[in-house]
Chains A and B, each alone.
Chain A
Amino acid sequence: MATLIRFTGGDWDLAEECAQEAFAQALRKWPSTGVPDQPLAWLTTAARNRAVDVIRRSATEARKLREVAAMEPGPVPARDSEIPDDRLELMFTCCHPSLKVEAQVALTLRSLTGISTAEIARAFLIPERIMAQRLFRAKQKIKHAAIPFRVPPAHLLPERVPAVLHVLYLLFNVEYSELSQSRVSDDAIRLTQVLAALMPDEPEAQGLLALMLLHGARRAARTSPDGDLIPLEEQDRGLWDQQRIAEGEQLLERALRRGRPGPYQIQAAIAACHATTPVAAQTDWPQIAALYTQLLRLVPTPVVALNRVVAIGMAEGPEVALPLLDGLSEDDALDAYYLLPATRADLLRRAGRLEEARASYATALSLAPSEAERRYLMRRLAEP
């Protein structure tokens, strides 16, 4: 798709149509002729031929034909390895800050992975019609407002890279919670791998990839067979993917050596602390609390502040953490967030203040977003 969009001079609809046509052609021909040696090159050639046909037939688009002719410097690729990698350009186009973040996320998924509009709609819990409209509007804006199809020049990267990282991070998290078994999660990792490989000087890109690998490594241990969430300290650490953990750690180390820490590198460092601890009781909570303090300086959000209090509670005890929680409750953003009363309940229980703990568990239960979280809280409530 990325190559085709470049070839058609930024006409997304035409590129999409031609890609579909090429796949249809392949389905018709390949069963009798066999799969060609260079399937990607075959598909690209078929799609490009189709694009030239369509544009030639449309006389009113004379200008576009001139553009296509001008863009046709060499022969169509004969080998898969000759196809230029345009995915980075496409990522920056999809994540242009003049598009709404929801549109950025949806467009990145639709254009850079094989996921259908219907599947994206399901992942974001909206009707397919609305998602199709959202994608259509975003593509129209790219065309009409002339959002460029390119990697921004170096001086723009500091303001543009975070948008791409943010979209990939959202992608990873959405699937992580909604469709944990689906291939979407791996797609988010794959796209970040492309970004990290193509931008080796961006430590935050490496940091985000490390974070995804370290979180992804715990996937198999995260839910019980009946779908219940298993908290970190109760997970069977034997189920963690050691290869991914090693890969994530290595990436993180290389990124940190550049001496430009950022939110993703710090979050990856926190994930690495957990991932490399063989028994929950040995967790280095003082180190994790220090990392959260550093993260809070860069990302001063109530959720980060809450996580920092949890870590301090583990490092220094519930009596130290409880007063810090009181400061947080005044933040409106956390008002309906079930983890605030759940954290308070947990700290109170560990401090031996069971009556108050029970009341906080009840509040958390009333705010919990899903059945799995409610079941988890019920178990905690039943503990002595």
Chain B
Amino acid sequence: MKYLMLVCTDPDYKPSPEDLENAPDVEAWVEEMDGRGVRLMGNRTRPATDATTVRVRNGEVLLTDGPFAETKEQMAGFDIIDCADLDEAIEVSSKHPMAWGGMIELRPFWDDDAD
């Protein structure tokens, strides 16, 4: 089962000094998950100020500067992971450093393989 990991900031949360100290390292996370064959791809994304929102209305392409939804939480990156089930996806996400200071939303793919 494939999941999109939306890696987001949480501006309202200040991690404790212990969590900051113990939070895993992102390089190590990528290495582990690539090695396990769990992580298919992923990247950091530029902040919302660099975003462009595209709409087509009545055949006309309309562009807006910025994200489609203004939220305090910002998407900072994404990963696509392939896991046995939700429990494995949760385990993978909880080892990502951004889960310790921000948050991660897990979205299962609509159409997984031949389903």
Q: CB within 8 Å of B: which residues of A?
A: 62-63, 96, 98, 144-148, 152, 156
Contacts and interface: CB of A to CB of B under 8 A. Distances in A.
A145 B108 contact: yes
A146 B115 contact: no
B50 interface: no
B86 interface: yes
B56 interface: no
Contacts, number: 29
Nearest to B91: A156
Given A98-B90, A147-B85, A148-B87, 15 more contacts: A62-B114, A63-B113, A63-B114, A63-B115, A96-B86, A98-B86, A144-B108, A144-B110, A146-B83, A146-B85, A146-B89, A146-B108, A147-B86, A148-B85, A148-B86
Contact of A156 (B87, B108, B115): B87
Contacts of B108: 144-146
B87 A152 contact: yes
A63 B114 CA distance: 7
Interface of B: 1, 83-87, 89-90, 106, 108, 110, 113-115
Main secondary structure of the interface of B (DSSP, over half): loop
| Most chain B CB neighbours (cut-off 10 Å) among A98, A144, A152 | A144
Contacts of A63: 113-115
A69 to B, nearest CB: 15
B28 to A, nearest CB: 20
Nearest to A160: B87
A145 B86 contact: yes
A151 to B, nearest CB: 11
Nearest 3 pairs between A and B by C-beta?
A148-B85, A146-B1, A146-B85
B105 to A, nearest CB: 12
Contacts of B84: 146, 148
Contacts of A147: 85-87
A156 B90 CA distance: 11
A63 B85 CA distance: 17
Contacts of B115: 63
Nearest to B113: A63
B114 A146 contact: no
B113 to A, nearest CB: 8
Nearest to A152: B87
A71 to B, nearest CB: 16
Nearest to B106: A145
A246 to B, nearest CB: 40
Nearest to A92: B87
Contacts of A98: 86, 90
A62 B114 CA distance: 9
A150 B1 CA distance: 16
| Most chain A CB neighbours (cut-off 10 Å) among B83, B89, B115 | B115
A20 to B, nearest CB: 25
